[in-house]
Structure 1
């Protein structure tokens, strides 16, 4: 027996061969690598994604409109607590384009930083309480609003700040051990944010009166000027960090929705393509960046919150209806996690309240415009998805997208 050393691209390896005989060629055991999204998110990153999306600019801005519409300190705090409960039950662009790993690292850092900024506010409020500043909180439910419309709009403001509780479920393909880490990340992330939000509102209301909070364009900044002294720069810095981190995570999750919708034929096919080297859904990321820029240019924050919240809760309601229907029509499908039917039924009633009451009590046309927007979507679905009508220009669009962004379908081999 002799030893023959074969030099290959992956290093040196030795094989025993019989003297005088040519060495046998072993078949290649490696499978060709596919262009596809990779599982880069562990439990901490999944929790970070939820917290990163939920804690954005909302908690620094929304307390103003929530308090104005609820009418009292006590009712406003109830709204913030209930919004957290509802969120638990219901469960912008370069970084996302370049690398999922880069996104995960940046998002984890930004989430820690924004939690520290929130902690500064909470500790400032606790200090004020410890020195006996309880006059504002002692007013309790004095002046509470009994208007169903105002209550619904107050929940819009609160739930806007909480929105993001479902984010991790749309990136299942990129979460490690999703059957374990997705439910666990929600159980950890949502109560954590609920506690932070509630305590931040207590801090605001300890230092500021109701008229001061209502008049504040950004209540956290006014709080910092009043309670934090020479370190008040932490608040606007925290707002900037929080808003950037939130936008980063929202884009990450929403682009995955577009990616999957493209795979299923519910959106333009090119949105399901992945960058050849970076393995990111580049077309979906680019589209979301463009749409975000449009809304930033033409919109004001409060009308955008009301409009977006209205649409969001209509579709949350539809999602719960679909869940109940599939429990009956697809009984034998494997379900890694399952919630009691009482929860989606409750969310349906919440969605009905939040979508029907504003339409009945508010003469503003924006809600009817939103319904019209949904109906246009139904028409688009019927002709281009259900009837499978494909305009010829889409082939040119797909080719242009592939060349411009260097993307390929997910079933494409790298070899």
Structure 2
């Protein structure tokens, strides 16, 4: 693609050739700052409230075995997520680069930890999360068509793969379209959240409190059970750091990033505790553990004959969370490619759409692979194990940079006790299940993460010629096919 044609296409993407010719300023083919405060809050709420609150209550209760500890775990998870997000607000306003933990690890510890994070995130954490959410969407969306029995596995997996394809296409086409879709589904999911909460408040007012008596009786509290309960609860809160993946696309990030966090995450925490209280107003612990879909059981008992509303809006909720995950995770691939830690084409921007289309498509393709063998409960445990290793490492980086990078401007500074507490919590979450209930898959997960070092030294550090000979023609072909260019200034 020659320079004249490239300038022409860039002008069209920014409003037409006339604008391109009239300005004397250089054109930037880059990510655009189009995400405001409302969209930021919707991105947090929409990404966090997804499949987790409709799947995890059963798993949290199964680990602690009593109503009281279960509700405490949900509240504690919200506090931990809020504290972690405040630390990320400092990181996001200090290092205003997209990519979440990646640029922070790069600044604090150098390229190797950053590469291991991108390796693990791109191939395990993010696509498995996307796959889990879409599988949950498929289960709820197909349930009304198979009353009285479980939907066929092939139907669930095909529907999940179709959802991934549609979401990937939407986010590849337009940043604004992705934001509008997110805002719509966030509004839709808040409807079902409000329906469940209001129904629970009405039931409590009617005296439905018998399930809260002796709420700590027969509680099963151990280091392993508490950590696994936190794993499942924190899965429902996952997404609290999503805005840090799109810092470069936030309008006025110094204001909107912390405000979105302060408003969004406490709102989600209150909703989660109230939703669990609503569940227990109508179900005993035993009934909740026996339920195949907690929200559907709640709807059948409370909203009949309008119970169909629940699976419909739960499907909206999960598809909205999947859209938010895709929107943000594609930026991590983009940043890793820009730093040379992935194929260079993954850092390219669509000339027409100004979106990181190659990164988003790559992310969607990996997620589809995860839907094939996907086991939701197992994936959640090992997802949480991997992700909290890097959460803890990132917050340790925040502490380290307080002493090694004092020259950095910090528009937001949290008390150092907060990152210290969250770092220690992440160490507990990572080590407790291994010590109390050691399993080989944890070892496999750790070995896979460290296995990224092989590719780092082969392709990034030493840059063997044969690897470049393979990647260069691949990059050129994909660049022509997808009509993408490097994120750089085009001067006239």
Question: Is this a same-fold pair by TM over 0.5?
Answer: yes
* Residue of structure 1 aligned with 2:185, choices 106, 110, 129: 110
* Secondary structure of residue in 2 paired with 1:139: coil
Matches within 5 A, 1:71-90: 71-90=65-84
Q: CA RMSD in A?
A: 1.7
Residues 26, 489 of structure 2: 8 Å contact kept: no
CA separation in 2, counterparts of 1:329 and 1:262? 27
Paired residue for 1:34? 28
Deviation at residue 29 of structure 1 after TM alignment: 4.7
Deviation at residue 139 of structure 1 after TM alignment: 2.6
Unaligned runs of 5+ in 2: 1-16, 86-163
TM-score (norm 2): 0.77
Paired residue for 1:398? 475
- Do residues 222 (structure 1) and 297 (structure 2) align? yes
* Secondary structure of residue in 2 paired with 1:266: coil
Deviation at residue 292 of structure 1 after TM alignment: 1.1
| Residue range with higher mean Cα deviation, 381-390 or 174-183 | 381-390
CA separation in 1, counterparts of 2:225 and 2:59? 10
Paired residue for 1:161? 236
* Residue of structure 2 aligned with 1:68, choices 62, 66, 70: 62
The alpha-carbon distance between structure 1 residues 399 and 412, as it changes in their structure 2 partners (threshold 3 A), is farther
- Do residues 259 (structure 1) and 334 (structure 2) align? yes
Matches within 5 A, 1:181-330: 181-330=256-405
- Do residues 362 (structure 1) and 437 (structure 2) align? yes
Deviation at residue 414 of structure 1 after TM alignment: 8.7
TM-score (norm 1): 0.91
Deviation at residue 412 of structure 1 after TM alignment: 5.3
- Do residues 132 (structure 1) and 207 (structure 2) align? yes
Q: Deviations over 1:343-373 (max 9, x none)?
A: 1111111111111111122232111111011
Deviation at residue 374 of structure 1 after TM alignment: 1.0
Computing the radius of gyration over CA atoms, which structure comes out larger, 1 or 2? 1
Higher relative contact order (CA 8 A, sep 6+): 2
Residues 258, 272 of structure 1: 8 Å contact kept: yes
Deviation at residue 300 of structure 1 after TM alignment: 0.9
Deviation at residue 169 of structure 1 after TM alignment: 1.2
CA separation in 1, counterparts of 2:278 and 2:199? 7
* Residue of structure 1 aligned with 2:406, choices 306, 313, 331: 331
* Secondary structure of residue in 2 paired with 1:375: helix
Matches within 5 A, 1:45-60: 45-60=39-54
Paired residue for 2:424? 349
Count of aligned pairs? 392
Deviation at residue 325 of structure 1 after TM alignment: 1.6
* Secondary structure of residue in 2 paired with 1:95: helix
CA separation in 1, counterparts of 2:471 and 2:404? 34
CA separation in 1, counterparts of 2:402 and 2:341? 23
CA separation in 2, counterparts of 1:359 and 1:106? 40
Residues 262, 271 of structure 1: 8 Å contact kept: yes
- Do residues 147 (structure 1) and 222 (structure 2) align? yes
CA separation in 1, counterparts of 2:401 and 2:219? 41
Residues 282, 298 of structure 2: 8 Å contact kept: yes
| Residue range with higher mean Cα deviation, 405-414 or 368-377 | 405-414
CA separation in 1, counterparts of 2:386 and 2:75? 22
Residues 279, 298 of structure 2: 8 Å contact kept: yes
Unaligned runs of 5+ in 1: 1-8, 12-26
CA separation in 2, counterparts of 1:388 and 1:324? 33
Residues 61, 217 of structure 1: 8 Å contact kept: no
